A = this chain, B = another copy of it.
C-alpha cells in the first residue's frame, strides 16, 4: 500500500459476470431519458468468393447516429455434400450462432443486473430443413425451419425462480430471438451491373 492508495478512493465499479453493472444501469437511464441514444444500426457487406463461398465484412456500426469504425471479416461455405468445399461454417450455422450469442448476452446481463454470479451458460440450437424448399422442387415446402429448438444450460448463484425469470425476460427482449421468431420485413433491391 502506498501513499496514493491512502487517498479517498474512487467508488469501485460493480462488476458482475464481467459486466460493469453501474455502466449498464447508466446506459439504461440515459436511453430512458433520450431514446435517440439507443438507436443502433448494423451493416454487413458480403462478396461471393467462388462456388458456395462468401466473405462478409463489417466496417462500422452506428450508435445514436454516430458511425463507429471496427473491422471484422467472416467466411461462409457449404459442406461437401451440399456442393461446397467445407472450408467454413454454413449460413444455417451462422444463423444459429447469431441466435445463441444474442441470448447469451441476455442471460449474462440479466443475471448481472440482479447481482447473480454465473459459472457457465451454454446454448445449443438445432433445427431441420427440407431441401425441397431451397431447390424449388415443391413450392408447398418451406425453404426454412418449421421450428427450431434451443436449450440453455445455466449455472450460478441464483435460485431456480430467478433463472426462470431471467429466461422469460430473454425470450421477450433478445433481438435475435425476436428476429428469428417474429416476421421481419425485408426490402430487397436488385442492381444488375454492366
The CA-CA distance from A76 to B83 in the complex, in Å, is 27
Copies of this protein, total: 2
The answer to whether B45 and A146 have CB atoms under 8 Å apart is no
Which residue of B has the minimal Cβ distance to A185? B147
Say whether A86 contacts B100, CB under 8 Å: no
For A39, the chain B residues whose CB sits under 8 A away are: 128-131
Tell me if A11 counts as interface (CB < 8 A to partner B): no
The answer on a CB contact under 8 Å between A146 and B92 is: no
8 Å CB contacts to B: which residues of A85-140?
A: 86, 88-102, 104-109, 118, 120-137, 139
Cβ of A14 within 8 Å of any chain B Cβ, yes or no, is: no
Could you list which residues of chain A lie within 8 angstroms of chain B, going by C-beta atoms? 17-20, 23-24, 27-28, 31-32, 35, 38-48, 50-52, 54, 56, 58, 61, 63, 68, 70, 72, 74, 76, 78-79, 81-83, 86, 88-102, 104-109, 118, 120-137, 139, 142-155, 160, 163-164, 167, 169, 171-194
